Amino acid sequence: MTLVAVVGPSGAGKDAVIDGARRHFAADPRVIFPQRVITRPAGPGEEHRPATEDEFAARERAGGFAVHWDAHGLRYGIPAAVAGAVREGAVAVVNVSRGVIAALPEVFGDVRVVRISVPEDVRRSRILARGREGTADARARLERPDPAPEAGVDLEIVNDGPLPDAVASLVRFLEGIGR
């Protein structure tokens, strides 16, 4: 049915908003929240499928990704099975780089883009507080330019208030897909 591509800068709270929506739709098999494969060890933050560089490259060569990209010195991939689930009627919600948005319709058909944003001061404090990156990596994330500034969005969520408000916005949007 639809891929919902959630985009936004590091520190905007994409993972927290997606996790809240995941909990809301836990009993609804129509809405899925596939884990990305990332060349980062398991740890705090987003639940993902960790992979070494070699494992990622092997999976890429074998056609194991519907789409993949590089950012922040890491490799990210959406498993190929997600495209099949979307073709079979699922609404899949995935955190992606804006740099791959143009490629998504060819793979998934119907794509909706949700951008999550936050004021820069809040974003800076979140990135520094999460402790997932060293100082240099945190600085690089804060200074990274938007990879696709011209990409349109279907929903903008400004995540600067209570998290349940941002989650409710995403939930309402997902409930409206396919009506």
What domains lie within the chain, and their CATH numbers? 2-34+81-176 (3.40.50.300)
Q: pLDDT tens-digit profile of 64-83?
A: 999 999 988 899 999 999 99
Please tell me the predicted confidence (pLDDT) of residue 143: 62
Residues 6+ apart with CB under 8 A from 10: 72, 123, 127, 141, 142, 144
Please tell me the predicted confidence (pLDDT) of residue 11: 83
- Given a contact cutoff of 8 angstroms between Cβ atoms, the answer to whether 85 and 45 are in contact is no
- The residue with tokens 């979140």 is 126
Q: Which helix (H) or strand (E) holds 129?
A: helix 120-130
Please tell me the predicted confidence (pLDDT) of residue 129: 76
What mean pLDDT do residues 46-68 have? 95
Beta-carbon-side half-sphere exposure of residue 22 (alpha carbons within 13 Å): 16
| pLDDT of residue 60 exceeding 90 | yes
Q: pLDDT tens-digit profile of 120-176?
A: 888 777 777 766 556 656 566 556 555 445 568 999 999 999 999 999 999 999 999
Residues at the binding site for ATP are 8-15
Q: pLDDT tens-digit profile of 83-105?
A: 999 999 999 999 999 889 999 99
User: How far is it, in rounded angstroms, from Cα 59 to Cα 62?
Assistant: 5
User: Who has greater pLDDT, 26 or 151?
Assistant: 26
Residues at the binding site are 8-15
What mean pLDDT do residues 35-52 have? 88
Please tell me the predicted confidence (pLDDT) of residue 152: 83
User: How far is it, in rounded angstroms, from Cα 153 to Cα 107?
Assistant: 18
**What's the Rg (C-alpha) of the chain?**
16
Please tell me the predicted confidence (pLDDT) of residue 148: 47
- Bridge-based pairing of strands 2-7 and 31-32 is unpaired
β-sheet bridge partners, residue 37: 49, 77
Of the chain, the percentage scoring pLDDT greater than 70 comes to 85
Please tell me the predicted confidence (pLDDT) of residue 119: 86
Residue 40 tokens read as 């980062």
What mean pLDDT do residues 16-37 have? 96
